[in-house]
């Protein structure tokens, strides 16, 4: 009998009303992208101070850290505690996938520098350039490595300096660090592979209503998805290959 695979999601953001109504919350949004039949996916709302017991970390095959409206360079209690958990998981050589805030927090923990985005925030469908010569030997993308990939972006901070042992996997005209890896157990992505058009548009509407962006910015943000969509299937393959496969088994 094959042992059930177990994964843990660190939710660093509350569920929006739209996410709850449309998907039952962000837990389900992530599982719909990353999960497979027969797996167990648990989540802890770390933004509310919910953390697993340290002794339970060993039973999980992989971990995912979500995005957040909080800054990864803050020193609030839950962020510092999550930093400690990341250090522990790295010592255990557990697979950890960092998304947006998670991407930045892993960079911080490993000695990189994180701060406000130098060219300003992004809330749109963006295009990132893949560093082809860097994707091997792990190569979570597969045999055919594209020149670039489209991904939904929603952030105002960025990784300013990579940790010393990090490998840059993608960049863009806006940000020098769009994706990086450290050894074969940490993979970090600035964009949101789990987001779709409806989730992005809901976020745009909410930040516009809150007065955080202007109408023109919101209009331009939505226009990025008029004729294009994110490369969701490729991102799904990348994330699943990283979490679930040995490099020799990737296709």
Distances (CA, A) of 237 to 44, 181, 243: 24, 16, 10
Q: How far apart are CA 47 and CA 167, in angstroms?
A: 29
Length of the chain equals 251
Q: What is the DSSP string of 41-54?
A: EEEE-GGGT----G
Q: Identify the pLDDT of residue 183.
A: 93
pLDDT 10s digit of each residue in the chain, 251 long? 668 999 999 999 999 999 999 999 999 999 999 999 999 999 999 999 999 999 999 999 999 999 999 999 999 999 999 999 999 999 999 999 999 999 999 999 999 999 999 999 999 999 999 998 887 766 788 878 899 999 999 999 999 999 999 999 999 999 999 999 999 999 999 999 999 999 999 999 999 999 999 999 999 999 999 999 999 999 999 999 999 985 433 43
| pLDDT tens figures, 75-97 | 999 999 999 999 999 999 999 99
Query: Which helix (H) or strand (E) segment is 6 a member of?
Result: strand 6-10
d(CA 175, CA 116): 11
Q: What is the per-residue pLDDT for 248?
A: 36
Q: Which residues make beta-bridge pairs with 128? A: 149
d(CA 113, CA 40): 34
CA angle 182, 130, 194 (to 5 degrees): 75
Asked if omega into 179 is within 30° of 0 (cis), the reply is: no
User: Tokens representing 30?
Assistant: 């992530």
Placement of tokens 């964009």 in the chain: 191
Spatial distance between the Cα atoms of 140 and 228, rounded to a whole number of angstroms? 24
Q: Answer for the pair 9, 66: CB distance below 8 angstroms, yes or no.
A: yes
**C-alpha distances out from residue 87 to 5, 49, 63, 83, 95, Å:** 22, 18, 13, 6, 12
8 Å CB contact between 86 and 52? no
Q: What is the pLDDT of residue 1?
A: 61
- Which sequence positions are flagged as catalytic? 100, 192, 194
Q: Residue 224's CB: how many other CB atoms inside 10 A? A: 18
The pLDDT value given to residue 139: 76
Domains of the chain and any CATH numbers? 6-244 (3.40.50.880)
Contact 64, 30 (CB under 8 A): yes
| Contact between 152 and 195 (Cβ < 8 Å) | yes
DSSP lists the bridge partners of residue 126 as: 151
Q: Choose among 155, 230, 228: nearest CA to 196.
A: 230
Q: How far is CA 173 from CA 10, 127, 139, 186, 204, in A?
A: 30, 9, 23, 24, 22
């Amino acid at each position: 009998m094959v042992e059930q695979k177990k994964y843990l999601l660190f939710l660093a953001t509350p569920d929006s009303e739209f996410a709850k109504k449309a998907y039952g919350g962000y837990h389900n949004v992530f599982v719909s992208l990353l999960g497979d039949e027969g797996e167990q996916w648990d989540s802890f709302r770390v933004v509310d101070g919910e953390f697993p017991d340290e002794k339970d970390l060993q039973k999980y095959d992989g971990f995912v850290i979500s995005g957040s409206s909080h800054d990864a360079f803050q020193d609030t209690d839950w962020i510092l505690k999550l930093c400690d958990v990341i250090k522990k998981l790295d010592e255990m050589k557990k697979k950890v996938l960092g998304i947006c805030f998670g991407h930045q927090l892993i960079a911080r923990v490993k000695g990189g520098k994180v701060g406000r985005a130098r060219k300003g925030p992004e809330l749109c469908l963006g295009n990132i350039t893949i560093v082809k010569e860097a994707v091997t030997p792990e190569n979570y993308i597969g045999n055919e490595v594209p020149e670039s990939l489209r991904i939904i972006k929603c952030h105002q901070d960025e990784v300013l300096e990579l940790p010393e042992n990090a490998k840059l996997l993608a960049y863009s005209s806006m940000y020098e660090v769009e994706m990086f890896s450290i050894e074969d157990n940490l993979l970090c992505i600035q964009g949101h592979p789990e987001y779709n058009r409806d989730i992005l548009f809901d976020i745009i509407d909410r930040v516009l209503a809150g007065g955080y962006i202007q109408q023109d910015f919101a209009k331009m943000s939505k226009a990025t998805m008029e004729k294009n969509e994110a490369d969701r299937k490729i991102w799904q393959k990348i994330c699943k290959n990283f979490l679930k496969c040995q490099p020799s088994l990737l296709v």
